[in-house]
Amino acid sequence: MSIIKKIPWLSLVLALLTYCSLGWVISSVNITLIGWIGVAIAILILVGILTIPGVEFAQYSNYFFKSNTRTFVVTILAAFSLFLMIAWFRLFLDILVIIAATILVRIDFQTAGLRQVYAFGTLSFISLLGLGIGVLIHRFL
């Protein structure tokens, strides 16, 4: 079967639309060029984290829980994150939708049997393309 038939088009379109809406929202805030670079880097980090296999993620998470001090710091950061989720619930929901769409694409790529490097590259391209399309739509409308 060709690679074109293996690509999960529906989940990629959903991710593209999700990142378009992110680009629209961020564009309405009028951030600087450094802010846009930070957003792009954050998106690439998110895609990278979500395309890492579970076994490698478990190895990284074991590092944080090797000592009591690290565990305490992770617990404090988790409590602060929970506070931020409650305080900025609308922003949390937007981020949750973006993460869910990204995870859906990753699962579809894994189900299709495609390599992780291919999934990372495609998802990074779709994410940044969607961000750019959202900015362009906001600028021209």
Model-wide pTM > 0.75: yes
Instruction: Say how many domains are in the chain.
Output: 1
Q: What does the angle CA 96 – CA 45 – CA 14 come to, to the nearest 5 degrees?
A: 45
26-61 pLDDT, tens digit each: 888 888 999 899 999 999 988 888 887 665 666 666
Q: Which residues contact 14 (CB under 8 A, 6 or more apart)?
A: 101, 104, 105
Q: Which domain holds residue 56?
A: 3-140
